[in-house]
Structure 1
Amino acid sequence: MNTRRAVVTGIGVVAPGGVGTKAFWELLTSGRSATRAISQFDASGYRSRIAAECDFDPDGSGLSGEETGRMDRAAQFAVVAAREALADSGAGDVGVPPHRIGVSLGSAVGATVTLEQQYTRVSDAGSRWVVDAADPYPHLYRALVPSGLAAEVAWTSGAQGPVRVVSTGCTSGLDAVALGAQFIEDGSADIVVAGATEAPISPITVACFDAIKATSANNDDPGHASRPFDRDRDGFVLGEGAAALILEEAGAARRRGARVYCEVAGYAQRSNAFHMTGLRPDGVEMAEAIRVALDRARLAPESVDYVNAHGSGTRQNDRHETAAFKSSLGEHAHRVPVSSIKSMVGHSLGAIGALELAACALAIDTDTVPPTANLRTPDPELGLDYVPLTAREHRTDTVLSVGSGFGGFQTAVVLTAPRGERGHG
């Protein structure tokens, strides 16, 4: 029987509302929303003109001019988050051989901003079918291949072990952390930088979601537009950001005296094989992912202290996952607090799962459940405890985090307090 276990010893975050883990957690526990009118381009002609943008200064975040010149915004986020996580963990100073350090990074749309900007330039804003290749951007290939994101994180962390990109839509962040935990468990690596990054706030991305009317059109009140589980919700608000978790083998982390936030105790992925953007109302495939993740963690449904919901704010998602919680957790679903941080930091597509796991680790560390901001009129069709408006002190030893991705992807991850420390609150 394999006894290797993955624990989280470092956290790094770039998020709307502030760069760094401290600013991220302060935003979440305050119940404030970072959503606002889009400033990165002229969005006046779009149906949805709001987003949760990061106030990100590459120079102020420690990136050199050369790094900024070659890296897409998403790669910049990832590198800054990884550096903070490595510093937080102290794992870079313990002498682990480079070939025992890995990277598992998620992203749904990769270097969208750079690709769109460069196409606009060489096509004269789309007016030429035959583009001008006389003055190419020298780093365009890096933007084309999603592996460039993981390569940047590997270079900044000195990782010469397994390096992977995970792209499963909006479950990418959860899936990347699960894959990183697998690297630890199967002995492929002793330290893994795991997480996800996304910088999708661009004309093409906004147009894609406008076309299917998935995003909120509450442009007159952007701070209250993201309203998961609310009766008056009208779609999600696009976001951006990155989060990195340092995963280590539990025994090694304990021997070096590392601070351990939590353990990655269980995870599972399922697909609904149903529709590109549609969800079955009964949530059967998400419920199955939850059951398998809890079984892997050897925990009963009643052990879950907090559920970090996908909570996108679309009607079909909120109904779908609420049904999944009721199916997989039984009567306990009506007792356990549930919340969605997308109400505050928006929906950053592939990155959001990693940001949510960072929030879950901090919830365990502080015994605090972040709220669902803007939830003023709960949808009576749903009927669970969605922690409206205000953070809640609550003993949080076991957290379930779930995600749904276009294409029918469903993921559940279970984090627990470090062994020997459960009941720490």
Structure 2
Amino acid sequence: MTRVQITGLAVRSAAGEGLAPLHRRTVAGRALFRPLDRFPRSGPPAAVLDGDPDLGTALAEVVDQARADAGYPPDAPLFLALHADRRTATVVRTVDPAARVYTGACVAASTALIDAASAIAAGRHRQIVVAAGYLVEPRTYALFEAGRALARDGAARPFSRARSGLLLGDALVAVVLEDARSATARGARSHARLAGWGRAGDAHHVCRPDPDGAGLARAARTALGRAALRPEHLDYVNANGAGSALSDRSEAAALHTLFGPPRPGRRRPPRPPIGATKSVHGHALEASALLELAVTVAALHPPDGGDASDRLPATAGWLGLDEDCGIRPLHPDDPAPDRPPRCALTLNAAFGGANTALVVAV
């Protein structure tokens, strides 16, 4: 099994163009939500790009940027994660008619990434581009609002008491995964290594997560096992942290299963710092996992030349501990870690009980 490197990365979010502004906002824990002007709505805000970009055109540009960042690797197929609606076929034709398309809800991008990494590790491809895009639009916004899933107070507050739901956000992201030997042979730089991956299903309910978080815990253990790491080796976790009551409680149960209960007084606690960056950039649905992978890569390898030991991505909107979760995520004013982070775990979960976990290392 060959090592899988991330040799190209491009992102566009409500923070702006590129990874550096997104990293600065997540480290500062400064939420990007604002009132919607893309279409007439008077409900909760969202984290959106300026204007009303065309999804296909914008995503094609981000794919080209990732390819350029990787040095235009040859023969790289495209795995593409998108929201399934009437525009999907048009978007695919604009980006790449030959793309392999994933529409599996909020783990679509991480599922595409896992399939790509598995194909490269098994020697079936040298390079694969994985891209994902979601722009907040009237139909999905209305569905989430009608389902009372959006935060009524205009803030996403993962694991916090008094949280009232999630908030949506735009994301256009592309990464190039590459066989480490291929990358070395052509002198390509590496943003990070995709060291492990795992996925598991709850088989619990059509939309509610398993309250015990068993599926998410299994996915995380599988990812750590593939990376030959134990939970205590992790330096950072970017939680799914949607901000909804049921999802956060389920994920908290998974984290307690994975790391055990906190042990005050120990110099190095058994659990790593936990952040939840959807509170900053919003929930990008099918693109969320790839956006959060980019955030996690930046936590280990800051894009603006900063020291990775300075700060980790924080969580916005915190109002105090929810005893039903028992998770106190990173705050913007928390001290820097005592050593530069070397490996991190990023988690995602979707309706229907689908769970994914990715281990990133430098």
TM-score > 0.5, shorter chain as reference: yes
* Distance of 2:25 and 2:228 partners within structure 1: 33
- 1:75 is matched with 56
- 2:41 is matched with 43
* Distance of 2:334 and 2:33 partners within structure 1: 18
Amino acid corresponding to residue 130 of structure 2 in structure 1: A
Amino acid corresponding to residue 369 of structure 1 in structure 2: L
How much does 1:57 deviate? Answer: 7.4
How much does 1:246 deviate? Answer: 1.2
Bigger CA radius of gyration? 1
Offset from partner CA, 1:49-91 (integer Å, 9 cap, x none): 3211112576xxxxxxxxxxxxxx332332222122222222x
How much does 1:226 deviate? Answer: 1.2
* Distance of 1:397 and 1:144 partners within structure 2: 37
* Distance of 1:56 and 1:353 partners within structure 2: 24
- 2:119 is matched with 183
Offset from partner CA, 1:148-202 (integer Å, 9 cap, x none): 54454447xxxx7xx3111210111211211221231223322211131112321
Residue 212, structure 1, aligned to residue 147, structure 2? yes
* Distance of 2:88 and 2:227 partners within structure 1: 38
How much does 1:275 deviate? Answer: 1.7
How much does 1:103 deviate? Answer: 1.0
* Distance of 1:325 and 1:186 partners within structure 2: 30
* Distance of 2:118 and 2:28 partners within structure 1: 34
Change (3 A) 1:211 1:57: closer
* Distance of 2:223 and 2:285 partners within structure 1: 22
4+ residue segments displaced more than 6 Å: none
Picking from 58, 65, 85, the partner of 2:66 is 85
- 2:173 is matched with 243
How much does 1:253 deviate? Answer: 1.1
- Note if contact 1:31-1:391 (Cα within 8 Å) is conserved in structure 2: no
Picking from 303, 321, 329, the partner of 1:378 is 321
* Distance of 1:207 and 1:248 partners within structure 2: 39
Amino acid corresponding to residue 249 of structure 2 in structure 1: R
Q: Structure 2 matches for 1:226-265, cutoff 5 A?
A: 226-265=156-195
Picking from 95, 100, 104, the partner of 2:79 is 104
Secondary structure in structure 1 of the residue aligned to 2:300: helix
Change (3 A) 1:400 1:84: same
Unaligned runs of 5+ in 1: 59-72, 116-142, 418-425
* Distance of 1:36 and 1:334 partners within structure 2: 37
Unaligned runs of 5+ in 2: 263-268, 303-307
Q: How many residues align?
A: 347
- Note if contact 1:104-1:192 (Cα within 8 Å) is conserved in structure 2: yes
- 2:266 is matched with none
- 2:345 is matched with 400
* Distance of 1:6 and 1:51 partners within structure 2: 34
Change (3 A) 1:409 1:216: same
- Note if contact 1:335-1:385 (Cα within 8 Å) is conserved in structure 2: no
- 2:108 is matched with 172
Give the TM-score taking structure 1 as reference length.
0.77
Secondary structure in structure 2 of the residue aligned to 1:36: coil
- 1:200 is matched with 136
Secondary structure in structure 1 of the residue aligned to 2:136: coil
- Note if contact 1:9-1:259 (Cα within 8 Å) is conserved in structure 2: yes
Secondary structure in structure 1 of the residue aligned to 2:341: coil
Residue 327, structure 1, aligned to residue 257, structure 2? yes
- What is the aligned-residue identity percentage? 31
How much does 1:389 deviate? Answer: 2.8
Amino acid corresponding to residue 314 of structure 2 in structure 1: P
* Distance of 2:51 and 2:70 partners within structure 1: 23
Amino acid corresponding to residue 140 of structure 2 in structure 1: T
Give the TM-score taking structure 2 as reference length.
0.89
- Note if contact 2:116-2:177 (Cα within 8 Å) is conserved in structure 1: yes
Q: Cα RMSD (Å) of the superposition?
A: 2.1
Secondary structure in structure 2 of the residue aligned to 1:239: coil
Change (3 A) 1:390 1:183: farther
How much does 1:20 deviate? Answer: 1.8
Residue 284, structure 1, aligned to residue 183, structure 2? no
How much does 1:383 deviate? Answer: 2.6
- Note if contact 1:19-1:55 (Cα within 8 Å) is conserved in structure 2: no
Offset from partner CA, 1:243-280 (integer Å, 9 cap, x none): 11111111121233322121111111111122222112
Offset from partner CA, 1:75-134 (integer Å, 9 cap, x none): 2332222122222222x1x6x3xxx31111212x24x5xx4xxxxxxxxxxxxxxxxxxx
More moved, 246-255 vs 372-381: 372-381
Q: Structure 2 matches for 1:102-141, cutoff 5 A?
A: 102-107=77-82, 109-110=83-84, 112=85, 115=86
Whose helix proportion is higher, 1 or 2? 1
- Note if contact 1:51-1:201 (Cα within 8 Å) is conserved in structure 2: no
More moved, 323-332 vs 234-243: 323-332
Change (3 A) 1:319 1:399: same
- 2:4 is matched with 6
